Structure 1
Amino acid sequence: MKPDLLNQPLRLPNGCVLRNRLAKAAMSETLGTYDNRPTLDLVQLYRRWAASGLGLIVTGNVMIDRRALGEPGNVVIEDETDLTALREWARAVTGQGAAIWAQLNHPGKQSTKGLNAFNLAPSAVPFREDMAAFFETPREATTSEIRDIVERFGRSAAICRKAGFSGVQIHGAHGYLVSQFLSPHHNRREDEWGGTPEKRRRFVLAVYAEIRRQVGPDFPVGIKLNSADFQRGGLTEEESIETIRALTTAGIDLIEISGGTYEAPAMSGAMREPKKESTVAREAYFLEFAEKVRAAVKVPLMVTGGFRTAAGINAALCSGALDVVGLARLLAIDPDAPAALLHGRDSLRQVRPISTGLKAVDRMGIMEVLWYTRQLKRIAMGREPRPDESGLAAFVKSALRSGWGTFRTRRLRAQS
């Protein structure tokens, strides 16, 4: 019998303890108002997850700037206006013994057309041709804009601490701004913020340093990073490991490993279909990379993506390559799955590929966000998920809602 590591607590480098090794990874909920404030729907959704026994719950995209949204309905934390609502959101989780970390993010170029007045990125690199209809070419950020964004990450983290969140996670993966700065494809600058691997890492290290300065040493700060971008000219595994070394030296508390971008959506598994039986048995998409990281550093590691069974999860933990198992899509179709897994049983639900039948849409992997977001809304409303919902129907409804949300967001911003 292998030891049951999933139920063991984990002490982070700063001394904080997670009650077990099972985490809910970030999924974009878009349950905020169209002027980007938290809602009771978020409280309801997170209370349901916390009751399942999870040790750590990471929120979906919490943006640091109302001028830089990833989607309509993102929650934005840039001042203390919504402190009461944020406290209620945090208490819904911490009141049941789990930790809740706010995932702080800036979309950079990865924001749909029309939502923001303009999009910033390290360099003015357009999306690939078949995605240009959905995403505008960004403007290259100025040095003063970069410094403002760094400061905003710190301010948002400090507000999260004041509101009672257990920690924060920097979103440095999936093609958003931090990820863009790390990528040679997206970051073509030749100043202090780009041109060499060391300079491309400067932004993420500055963000971490500013957050740590504003929250202090005893508040957990983690990061979600790509193992690689799986995109020509993008971040490689070698550069990713060097980034992890630098963050470990700086004092990061937990690193979650993922991969891909909207243009190369490896995080959904669409580009990483396992071929060998041994790989299928190991389940996790990024476990091999985690083993390379573990050989290089001793920082606590979280791996998300591909886990299907209690046996697979326990085997991954027993391998020593990771310390925390992250679940995402499964919790959108079975919010009670952690209760079963923590008792050694499998969920009765299985994650399936979501397809619309429209090649242009399916190539982007965007349904791995939109379809699951619809299930989160059902849970937040006190209903059960619909695992059999049509991908095409979900796309049409999501597109209509996104269009209306974009219009309302721009209208409210103009009136403020």
Structure 2
Amino acid sequence: MSSELFSPVRLRSGQVLGNRIAKASMEGGMAGAGQLPDRRVLSLYRRWGAGGAGLLITGNVMVHAEALTVPGGLVLDEAAPLEPYAEWAEAGKAGGAAMWMQINHPGRQVLAGMPGVVWGPSAVGVELGRHSKRFGRPVAMTSEQIEATVARFRTTAVRAERAGFDGVQIHAAHGYLLSQFLSPLVNTRTDAWGGSLENRARFLLDVVREVRAAVAPSFAVAVKLNSADFQRGGFDVDDARRVIAMLDPLGVDLVELSGGNYESPAMSGHATDGDHTATSGHTADTDRTATSRHTADTDRTATSRHTADTDRTATSRHTADTDRTATSRHTADTDRTATSRHTADTDRTATSRHTADTDRTATSRHTADTDRTATSGRATDARTRAREAYFLDLAADLVATSPLPLMLTGGITRRETAEEVLAGGVSLVGMGTALAATPDLPARWREGREADGRLRSVTWSDKALASAATMALVRHQMRRVARGLRPALGTRPAHALVTDQLQQHRALRRYRSWLPTTAAARTGAANRNA
């Protein structure tokens, strides 16, 4: 096996990464008081920093205090104190890894009930069928708001450098604001910010120019970009190829390839049926085959075998407004539900008491070794490798023409797969979930060992809910590692989802109390920097 995985890589900025393994961004939703990193975040990144990766990319940090992806989001704007971020950078770099801050604006992907703003390129909301009400309704940004947001990205990047980070990654993937402007489905503007791809990419390109000009030449500037949105008529691989070419002359060090958004969450392995490539582009029915080959109704069973209305029962049988409770405790009615004493064991009852061994049933009872073979990537056939590296085919297509180094993230869990990704011309291998489950996985690979196990697969038929549960499982492990505990790989998806919603409910109460108290300070800081 090639040793390229542990060879250094030099970037355009002159920065040298110790090896080609990167901890990809994962949102922890663990902000402490004031939407700042606290000891939990420091502990988590110190653990990852000691795990052998050459690069750590933080969970996304918001550039706008009034627009968060989740209520437990971190904010670094002109008014935020810098010391907690300096401590965070120091903790992550203590083991020798480089530390980049991912900077982001959620745009329209803001949960309903959150204070602040819900902006988008156009007044086109997140469309998730009956789950659509989980998100706020966006208003189209004015040119002035766009220009002010460009300045916010610049401010956050400059302050990240001052705090001791080695670089920033500008998030233009997964359906967040910059990705929304790139999408012809979401961006229906007819002005200079919409229409042609050149116009739709203008926002991203302006952000990159401003950031690159404001930081030192040795400070890395990277972009996270969808290889495709996995929606018919959306941003596709040809668009990605053209945007990468547009980024080339702007001093970008690296482009990370991912895919999907909240409407088609391919980044968590749950692309919608609107995506003909499912999650890897190799099989029309991979999603069903890999997780439920022998059980026609497994997905329904996984959420509720004994109820007439599976989706409502799967998350909360006894709440007044199930849809909001099941997927987001952050709406107005959720506050009552999340704290209601008379639903003590409701969530466990609704998601697991009536399904007994449902999670085992959904992933293993009728599939013998399917979980190990079809979804865990332990078989060595080509289809398994493709399922493990979600976007491998698209990356191979882009590598052939890209003038910039590329990093591929999405489902990679084994050294063999990582080596094959690099052999295809990709410069860095990004891992997220795998490092939440096994924080020292790069060090294990160097020693010739693999992970002890994997997180449970979420095979629910409701892909929006399945994606939320998958992300909740990852955050559950991150919180355990932050507390100095070992990951709990056997955690059930329903338990993780309910626990995560309760955590975010508490964070929402803090955020609602904090935001109004900081308005004057932020206005003053903005005026001083104007």
Both proteins in one fold, TM over 0.5: yes
Q: Report the counterpart of residue 14 of structure 1 in structure 2.
A: 13
The whole-number CA distance in structure 1 between the counterparts of 2:37 and 2:458 is 28
Matched, 1:219 2:222: no
Whether contact under 8 Å (1:12, 1:253) holds in the other structure is yes
Matched, 1:44 2:43: yes
Whether contact under 8 Å (2:72, 2:508) holds in the other structure is no
One-letter amino acid matched to 2:82: L
Q: Report the counterpart of residue 239 of structure 1 in structure 2.
A: 239
Residue from 410, 413, 416 that aligns with 2:512: 410
The whole-number CA distance in structure 2 between the counterparts of 1:406 and 1:281 is 40
Q: Deviations over 1:251-298 (max 9, x none)?
A: 210110000001100111223155394232354111222222221123
Q: Report the counterpart of residue 197 of structure 2 in structure 1.
A: 197
TM-superposed deviation, 1:148:
0.5
The whole-number CA distance in structure 1 between the counterparts of 2:506 and 2:385 is 43
Q: Report the counterpart of residue 318 of structure 1 in structure 2.
A: 423
Q: Report the counterpart of residue 394 of structure 2 in structure 1.
A: 289
TM-superposed deviation, 1:87:
1.0
What is the TM-score with the length of structure 2 in the denominator? Answer: 0.75
Matched, 1:257 2:257: yes
SS at 2:91 equivalent: helix
Q: Deviations over 1:352-409 (max 9, x none)?
A: 4235x5837535x112222211211111111111111111122122222223322331
Look at both structures and tell me which one has the larger radius of gyration over its CA atoms. 2
Whether contact under 8 Å (2:412, 2:418) holds in the other structure is yes
Whether contact under 8 Å (1:14, 1:220) holds in the other structure is yes
The whole-number CA distance in structure 2 between the counterparts of 1:331 and 1:3 is 22
Matched, 1:163 2:163: yes
SS at 2:58 equivalent: strand
Q: Report the counterpart of residue 496 of structure 2 in structure 1.
A: 394
Q: Report the counterpart of residue 317 of structure 2 in structure 1.
A: none
Q: Report the counterpart of residue 298 of structure 1 in structure 2.
A: 403
Matched, 1:359 2:462: yes
Map 1:12-411 → 2, pairs under 5 A:
12-33=11-32, 35-79=34-78, 81-128=80-127, 129-271=129-271, 272=279, 274-275=282-283, 277-282=381-386, 283-320=388-425, 322-354=426-458, 359=462, 361-362=464-465, 365-411=467-513
SS at 2:60 equivalent: strand
Identity rate of aligned residues, in percent? Answer: 39
Mark the CA change 1:415 to 1:79 in structure 2 (over 3 Å): closer, same or farther.
closer
The whole-number CA distance in structure 2 between the counterparts of 1:378 and 1:193 is 43
TM-superposed deviation, 1:137:
1.6
The whole-number CA distance in structure 2 between the counterparts of 1:327 and 1:351 is 14
The whole-number CA distance in structure 1 between the counterparts of 2:429 and 2:403 is 16
Whether contact under 8 Å (2:221, 2:254) holds in the other structure is yes
TM-superposed deviation, 1:16:
0.7
The whole-number CA distance in structure 2 between the counterparts of 1:30 and 1:16 is 29
The whole-number CA distance in structure 2 between the counterparts of 1:249 and 1:390 is 47
Q: Report the counterpart of residue 330 of structure 2 in structure 1.
A: none
TM-superposed deviation, 1:72:
1.2
Paired residues, number:
412
Deviates more, 1:242-251 or 1:151-160: 242-251
Give unmatched runs, 5+ long, in structure 1.
none
Whether contact under 8 Å (2:5, 2:21) holds in the other structure is yes
One-letter amino acid matched to 2:101: A
SS at 2:57 equivalent: strand
The whole-number CA distance in structure 1 between the counterparts of 2:161 and 2:79 is 11
One-letter amino acid matched to 2:109: Q
Whether contact under 8 Å (2:412, 2:434) holds in the other structure is no
TM-superposed deviation, 1:344:
3.3
Whether contact under 8 Å (2:56, 2:100) holds in the other structure is yes
One-letter amino acid matched to 1:291: A
One-letter amino acid matched to 1:104: I
Q: Deviations over 1:36-66 (max 9, x none)?
A: 1111111100000010111000000100011
SS at 2:489 equivalent: coil
One-letter amino acid matched to 1:281: R
Q: Report the counterpart of residue 336 of structure 2 in structure 1.
A: none
Whether contact under 8 Å (1:36, 1:75) holds in the other structure is yes
What is the TM-score with the length of structure 1 in the denominator? Answer: 0.95
- Runs ≥4 residues deviating over 6 A: none
CA RMSD of aligned residues (A): 1.7
Mark the CA change 1:257 to 1:281 in structure 2 (over 3 Å): closer, same or farther.
same
Whether contact under 8 Å (2:69, 2:110) holds in the other structure is yes
The whole-number CA distance in structure 2 between the counterparts of 1:380 and 1:203 is 36
Mark the CA change 1:175 to 1:361 in structure 2 (over 3 Å): closer, same or farther.
closer
Whether contact under 8 Å (2:468, 2:497) holds in the other structure is no
One-letter amino acid matched to 2:409: T
The whole-number CA distance in structure 1 between the counterparts of 2:67 and 2:461 is 29
One-letter amino acid matched to 1:372: V
